[in-house]
Structures are given as C-alpha cells and as structure tokens.
Amino acid sequence: MIMPSISWFVKDQRDVDIVKEFAIDLAINVQVAFYERRDAENWMYKIAECSPSVTSIHLPKGLEVNDYDANGIVAELSSLYDIKRFVVHPWCKDLMHIAEFVKMAEWTLSFECFSRKGAANPFLLLAQFGEEFKENHIGLCVDFSHLETDLATPGFVKGLLPYTKMLHISNRLKKQQHLPIFVQSSDTNAQQILAQVLDVPSCPVKDMVLEYMPDYRDRLAKQYYWLESYIQQKRRKFDGTV
C-alpha cells in the first residue's frame, strides 16, 4: 500500500497550526518533520493533541550522535503518532544505533540520499547497505530535488527502487529545490518519474511525500489530492497493492 502525504517542518506554534489545518481541516496525511532535536522535544506533544493523520516522521538532525537517549525520542514519536516509518538525513555513521533500534522494533528507517558529491550520496549508501536495504527495515528515501539533474530521471530512480522505501517528491530548477510538481519551468520532471515508478508492479515504496518550499504551501493541498487519486488510478491494475 502506497500512502500519499505532505511534509511539513515544525519549528514554532505557527507550523503546529499549519499541520493542524492540513491534517484536520483538509484531511491530508502529514509527514511531520523536525530540523533540530529541540524542535521535536518542544512541539511533538502539541501536534499530537489534535490527533493528525501522521504517516511518517522526519527525524531531527540532533539525533545524529552516539546518544542512546535518541532511541527514547524515536520510541516516543512512534507511540505518540502510532507510526512505524521514519526518515533521517544520514550525515553521520553513528546513526547505525538508531537503525539497529528501529530494526529491533520492526519499524522502518529510510536514509535520505543527497547529491553524488556528498557523504550521503546514493552510491555510497548502496555500497554500505545495499543488500540490507532490500529487506524490510532500512532503506533509501529518494528526494528528487537532492539528486543532480542528470540523476533525477525515471531510469535512475527506477534503478534505485529495490532499495527504496520512501520518495520525497518535488521539482528543481538549478539551485531552487523543492518546487511543486506542476511548475512552469524546471530541470526535472517529477510527474514523469512518478508515472514510471507507479508502473512498476513490485514497487516497494510505502510513502510518497510532497516536500515543497513554504512559499508553495498554497499548492500543497490540491497537489496532494491529485497525488492521492493518481496513486489509486495507477495502482488499480495491480490488485491488492493499494
């Protein structure tokens, strides 16, 4: 089953209100995202008060230390929102203790890959974890805006699919990242990638997440509804997968 959602970073009360608006007023699934560890500590309970439909959590970067207390935050987030799927920016190798914890709990942790120049590029992540990514509990989050233009193609993303559990969907125009799907000009074609990924019968992706810059907040709801029906329409032919 592939779940559509939108990602929203929460760092103040205004963001909490926006999550409430999306989740409650507009009945949209949300990937609640935190930049810093203190953002999670400050706001996770406030968000939970309105019982939004949270499909996954973007873990903060403050957990990227060899700190066993970090596991407590992951467990708290899972129980607060009743979710089992997480994504994190894998800047630090010490993340493995969180990965081990998530595996023990039988949840899923996706490592978000970045451009080929960085330490978190998809090739390095695959070299390190390739076979393990094919199993249930850890995998890649492929973010279309974080791949160089020549890699953000249907062919490349489909090649990563056996290792991929989550997609962050947006377009990119030069240095401008996280632009909407139906933007007038862009170097990428998110809709084309999506169309081909959804045609793969054994697609292992669980979360398709729209991740836009806050400037495009007003487009999120409409494009979420589009994504929701597009997933349904494209997967209908694969009985039992939606």
Q: Which residues bind Zn ion (CB under 5 A)?
A: 143, 168, 211
Q: Decide if 130 contacts 163 (C-beta within 8 A).
A: yes
Q: Which single residue brings its beta carbon nearest to Zn ion?
A: 168
Tokens matching residue 144: 């279309």
Q: How many beta carbons lie within 10 A of that of residue 192, not counting itself?
A: 11
Question: Residue 52 or 90: which CB sits closer to Zn ion?
Answer: 90
Nearer to Zn ion, 105 or 183 (CB): 183
* Nearer to Zn ion (CB atom), residue 24 or residue 108: 108
Angle at which helix 37-48 crosses helix 13-20, to 10 degrees, equals: 40
The kind and range of the H/E element at 143 are strand 138-143
User: What angle is formed at CA 157 by the lines to CA 146 and CA 62, rounded to 5 degrees?
Assistant: 40
Instruction: Give the count of beta carbons closer than 10 Å to the beta carbon of residue 187.
Output: 14
Tokens of 214: 């806050």
Q: How far is the CB of 216 from Zn ion (least distance, A)?
A: 14
Least Cβ distance, residue 89 to Zn ion (angstroms)? 8
- Output the smallest distance, CB 213 to Zn ion, in A: 11
Shortest distance, CB of residue 202 to Zn ion, whole angstroms? 24
Using the minimum distance from each CB to Zn ion, give the nearer residue, 15 or 143.
143
CB of 7 to Zn ion, least distance (A): 7
